Amino acid sequence: MIEKVDYIWMDGEFVRWDDATIHLLTHSLHYGLGVFEGIRCYSTKDGPAIFRLTDHMRRLLRSAKIHLITPKYSAEELVEVTKELVRRNGVDACYIRPIMYLGYGEMGLNPLNCEVRTAIAIWPWGTYLGEEGLKHGVRVRISSFRRLEPNIIPHAAKATGQYINSILAKVEALQSGYDEAILLNSHGYVTDGSGENIFQVRDGVLTTPPLSSGALEGITRDTILTIAGDLGYETREADLVRSDLYIADELFFTGTAAEVVPIREVDGREIGEPGPITRKCQEVFFSVVHGELERYRHWLEFV
**Which residues here bind ligand PY5, judged by CB under 6 A?**
38, 166, 192, 195-197, 216, 218-221, 254-257
Smallest distance, ligand PY5 to C-beta of residue 121, A: 13
What is the C-alpha to C-alpha distance for residues 51 and 92, in angstroms, rounded to an integer? Answer: 12
| CA dist., res. 14 & res. 199, Å (int) | 39
Strands 234-237 and 205-208: parallel
- 83 in active site: no
Nearer to ligand PY5, 255 or 291 (CB): 255
Alpha-carbon distance of 173 to 156, in angstroms, equals 24
Q: Nearer Cβ to ligand PY5, position 114 or 184?
A: 184
Nearest in space to 129 (alpha carbons), one of 255, 19, 28, 226: 255
Among 72, 158, 170, 280, which one carries the catalytic annotation? 158
Cβ at position 221, least distance to ligand PY5 in Å: 6
* Residue among 257 and 300 whose Cβ is closer to ligand PY5: 257
The SS3 call for residue 55 is helix
* Minimum CB–partner distance for residue 218 and ligand PY5 (Å): 3
d(CA 264, CA 243): 15
Q: Cβ 255 to ligand PY5, closest distance in Å?
A: 4
Contacts of 213 (CB under 8 A, 6+ apart): 185, 189, 190, 191, 239
Minimum Å distance from CB 193 to ligand PY5? 7
The residue among 114 and 255 lying less far from ligand PY5, judged by its C-beta, is 255
**Spacing of C-alpha 182 from chain mean position:** 14
d(CA 234, CA 249): 15
- Measured from each CB, the residue nearest to ligand PY5 is 38
Residue closer to ligand PY5 (CB basis): 219 or 277: 219
Question: Which positions are annotated as active-site residues?
Answer: 158
